């Protein structure tokens, strides 16, 4: 509903002036009824007047809470809060979430366990690139940790999921991808996605362990980014290319971690202080041993002085191949005394 801000505030003020909770409840019940059947007079009609948008059911729910208050004082406290949510926007330094209307952000996750039944396949998003992450990951991270117009750096761009999502959300983004043909594929997808906010979404071909990120940013007149997304190969679980610089071709876990250290050393200086770095990675299994690649890579970031803000555990979609072999995996797990991977991690760090 598009409502006239001044009229809504006036109505809240009239509610405030009720001299008894019973009177207030009657007034609120009448207003709820009018909101339900559309006969209220709060519609925004004057094009020059300030407008506030509300989901009808949300506003009715807020009124419900006010009417349920035990005392008039409590009801007035809720009315003041509602008035503030109409009149003022309160955002933090790192995102555009209006904290005065926090209850309405139903699509923003705040729990550390994510069970995603399906990937977002809207627009140009495709599951096609083996090893790409679900768009919900960059979507959630950018909603929580960036503002419109901010710059996002993805040092392992792959098929460009972060950049596609950034373009949709009005964030500028730069991606680095080692394989020229994969970078081209990403550029192709990004070009097919509408760019309503007219942002930069650029993929460069390069080795993220040796990229000069300052120079890259300078090409766009920037000195820093406000979010870094890192979704590296999970060491050798998927071999992405034959290129020796590819992290999936690292000689050992130790070599992989050393390369990740180089990436962090290069990206950290171009990330603004107080802003976030997100690492998406899973564990691996080799010669009868679970290798906690996620936590070991987390340590690499922590050793560089970052503050750990969250460890999110996300379910891992089975690949088609694995699904066909499900029975066999169960047998192997029973024989081998291990559990089959069904999760990966999203580590959220803040630069001090």
Ligand X SMILES: C[S@@+](CC[C@H](N)C(=O)[O-])C[C@H]1O[C@@H](n2cnc3c(N)ncnc32)[C@H](O)[C@@H]1O
- Determine which residue in the list 25, 245, 322, 351 makes contact with ligand X, applying CB under 6 A: 245
Quick count: other Cβ atoms within 10 Å of Cβ 168? 23
- Write down the least CB distance from residue 9 to ligand X, Å: 45
- Determine which residue in the list 62, 177, 236, 344 makes contact with ligand X, applying CB under 6 A: 177
Alpha helices by DSSP H, listed for the chain, are 5-16, 21-37, 56-67, 72-87, 136-145, 161-169, 180-192, 213-218, 253-267, 293-302, 320-324, 326-336
Tell me the CA distances in angstroms from 190 to 122, 157, 182, 230, one per residue in order: 13, 12, 12, 19
**349 near ligand X, judged by CB under 6 A:** no
Cβ contact 236:249 at 8 Å: yes
Tell me the CA distances in angstroms from 103 to 51, 77, 85, 139, 234, one per residue in order: 19, 17, 11, 19, 36
**314 near ligand X, judged by CB under 6 A:** no
Q: Residue 3: beta bridge partners? A: 43, 52
- Determine which residue in the list 15, 145, 151, 240 makes contact with ligand X, applying CB under 6 A: 240
- Determine which residue in the list 52, 94, 150, 158 makes contact with ligand X, applying CB under 6 A: 158
Rule CB under 6 A: which of 50-109 touch ligand X? none
- Determine which residue in the list 31, 42, 176, 264 makes contact with ligand X, applying CB under 6 A: 176
**316 near ligand X, judged by CB under 6 A:** no
Angle formed at CA 214 by CA 213 and CA 220, multiple of 5 degrees: 95
| Nearest residue (CB) to ligand X, 10 versus 243 | 243
CA–CA separation, 286 and 325 (whole Å): 19
CA–CA separation, 106 and 339 (whole Å): 33
- Determine which residue in the list 123, 131, 282, 292 makes contact with ligand X, applying CB under 6 A: 131
- Determine which residue in the list 169, 182, 298, 312 makes contact with ligand X, applying CB under 6 A: 182
Name the nearest CA neighbour of 90 among 80, 100, 82, 81: 100
Q: What is the largest CA-CA distance in the chain?
A: 77
**119 near ligand X, judged by CB under 6 A:** no
**165 near ligand X, judged by CB under 6 A:** no
DSSP 21-48: HHHHHHHHHHHHHHHHHT--S-B---TT
| Nearest residue (CB) to ligand X, 15 versus 133 | 133
Q: Which stretch binds ligand X (CB under 6 A): 60-68, 152-160, 293-301, 321-329?
A: 152-160
**139 near ligand X, judged by CB under 6 A:** no
CA–CA separation, 304 and 258 (whole Å): 12
Size of interface with ligand X, in residues (CB under 6 A): 25
- Determine which residue in the list 32, 209, 226, 297 makes contact with ligand X, applying CB under 6 A: 209
- Please report where in the chains the tokens 């809504």 appear, as a residue: 8
**175 near ligand X, judged by CB under 6 A:** no
- Write down the least CB distance from residue 275 to ligand X, Å: 20
| Nearest residue (CB) to ligand X, 12 versus 182 | 182
Angle formed at CA 276 by CA 273 and CA 278, multiple of 5 degrees: 145
| Nearest residue (CB) to ligand X, 179 versus 310 | 179
**235 near ligand X, judged by CB under 6 A:** no
Residue of minimal CB distance from ligand X?
158
**132 near ligand X, judged by CB under 6 A:** yes
Query: Which residues here bind ligand X, judged by CB under 6 A?
Result: 129, 131-133, 156, 158-159, 161, 176-179, 182, 207-209, 231-233, 240-241, 245-248
């Amino acid at each position: 509903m598009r409502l006239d801000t001044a009229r809504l505030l006036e109505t809240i003020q009239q509610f405030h002036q009720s001299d008894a909770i019973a009177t207030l409840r009657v007034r609120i019940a009448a207003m709820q009824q009018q909101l339900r059947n559309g006969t209220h007079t709060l519609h925004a009609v004057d094009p020059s007047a300030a407008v506030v948008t509300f989901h009808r059911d949300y506003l009715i729910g807020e009124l419900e809470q006010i009417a349920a208050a035990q005392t008039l004082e409590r009801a007035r406290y809720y009315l003041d809060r509602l008035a503030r949510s109409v009149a003022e926007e309160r955002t933090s330094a790192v995102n555009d979430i209006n904290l005065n209307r926090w209850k309405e952000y139903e699509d923003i996750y705040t729990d550390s366990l994510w069970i995603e039944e399906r990937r977002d396949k809207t627009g140009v998003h495709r599951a096609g690139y083996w090893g790409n992450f679900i768009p919900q990951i960059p979507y959630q991270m950018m909603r929580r940790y960036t503002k419109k117009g901010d710059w996002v750096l993805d040092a392992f761009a792959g098929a460009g999921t972060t950049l596609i999502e950034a373009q949709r959300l009005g964030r500028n983004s730069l991606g680095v991808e080692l394989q020229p043909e994969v970078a081209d594929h990403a550029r192709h997808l990004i070009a097919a996605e509408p760019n309503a906010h007219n942002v930069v979404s650029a993929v460069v071909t390069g080795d993220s362990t040796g990229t000069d990120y300052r120079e890259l940013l300078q090409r766009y007149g920037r000195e820093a980014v406000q979010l870094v997304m890192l979704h590296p190969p999970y060491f050798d679980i998927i071999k992405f290319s034959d290129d020796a610089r590819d992290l999936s071709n690292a000689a050992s876990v130790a070599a992989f971690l050393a390369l990740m250290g180089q990436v962090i050393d290069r990206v950290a200086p171009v990330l603004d202080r107080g802003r976030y770095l997100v690492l998406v990675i899973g564990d691996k299994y080799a010669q009868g041993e679970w290798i906690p690649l996620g936590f070991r890579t987390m340590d690499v970031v922590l050793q560089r002085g970052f503050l750990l803000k969250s460890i999110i555990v996300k379910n891992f979609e089975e690949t088609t191949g694995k699904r066909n072999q499900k029975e066999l995996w169960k047998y192997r797990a029973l024989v081998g005394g291990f559990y089959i991977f069904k999760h990966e991690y999203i580590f959220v760090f803040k630069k001090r």
